[in-house]
Amino acid sequence: MIAFIKKILGCHHSMPALMVLIATSALGMALISQYFFGLQPCNLCVIQRYPYGIVIALGVIGFIISFQSKRAVAVLMSLMGITFLANSVIAFYHTGVELKWWKSFLEGCMVPPMPEKAEDILAFVQSQTKAVRCDEIPWADPIFNLSMANWNVIFCFGLGVIALISAYRIWKRA
């Protein structure tokens, strides 16, 4: 089994395709939870989607050039690994905001300032669209009680490490 995993990690054709499949699935799950299950994302949730798009683009490019250059694929796998690790950092930041370890720097994640007069408050509340706050956890899994941001920290960190190991193995085989 270990030999099989090492073989897959060093395969310059399959690893970019596998990263595209994983990133597409993760992005697809986020979009399904939003559009089919009504789980509206906050600004930090949306920001965490961009690295998946970057990985998809890098993976497609990597798969296309995998027939030309193993070293170029290794470089792209390194970039995918760094992108996943960066997304893990963003998700960790989001986790800190959810757990109220710190306040978000994003203006859309904070509660807007309320008017001082009582009669203006109702007009203000009615004028605002329903914003999703970053410091509230809209969903947590029932087994471990982890939010989507918590899972994204773990998921992206693991994928980042896997992509970097793969980049090293592909570079070594080139």
pLDDT in tens, 85-101: 999 999 999 999 999 89
Query: Among 73, 19, 37, which residue's Cα sits nearest to residue 148?
Result: 37
Spatial separation of the C-alpha atoms in residues 160 and 87, rounded to whole Å:
9
pLDDT in tens, 16-42: 999 999 999 999 999 999 999 988 899
Half-sphere exposure of 163 (CA within 13 A, CB side): 31
Buried b (16+ CB within 10 A) or exposed e, 16-30: bebbbebbbebbeeb
* CATH code: domain of residue 79: 1.20.1550.10
Among 25-29, 47-51, 101-105, name the one with the lowest average pLDDT. 101-105
Structural domain range at position 154: 2-173
Looking at the structure of the chain, the number of domains it has is 1
pLDDT of residue 109: 64
Query: Among 22, 28, 48, which residue's Cα sits nearest to residue 162?
Result: 22
Instruction: Report residue 125's pLDDT band, with 50, 70 and 90 as the boundaries.
Output: low
- Tell me: pLDDT of 119 over 80: no
**What's the predicted TM-score (pTM) here?**
0.85
